[in-house]
Amino acid sequence: MSWKNEARKVYEARVVVDSLSRLAKRVDLKSLPFLDEELQTLARRARESFRSENKRERLDRYKAHLSSLYGEEHVAAISAALEDINNEIGYEEK
């Protein structure tokens, strides 16, 4: 892997951590029914879909899976918050 790809991968991982910390400021994460791993995966896929329309389908499938487990209202609320956070981060990147 080239150093540029490696740097991009590290940067994207930091952005996901940042988005989760911003989400924690907005929502009590302990009150959510999601496992930590599921929340991280949702945040990572939300970030990936922010950059690529092709990844949007993957995010939608994962949200459908989580909705079947925990209910659509929880997933929709967290997804909307993550989308807002990614928009904020995208604005800051410019």
For the stretch 37-58, pLDDT in tens is: 999 999 999 999 987 888 899 9
Residue 46 near residue 79, CB atoms below 8 Å: yes
| Tokens (6 digits) for 65 | 């899976």
Choice between 71 and 1, residue whose per-residue pLDDT is larger: 71
Instruction: Say if residue 65's pLDDT is above 80.
Output: yes
Q: What is the DSSP track for 61-82?
A: HHHHHHHHHH-HHHHHHHHHHH
**CA distance linking residue 7 with residue 26, whole number of Å:** 29
**CA distance linking residue 76 with residue 42, whole number of Å:** 11
DSSP one-letter code for 32: S
Q: Is the pTM of this model over 0.85?
A: yes
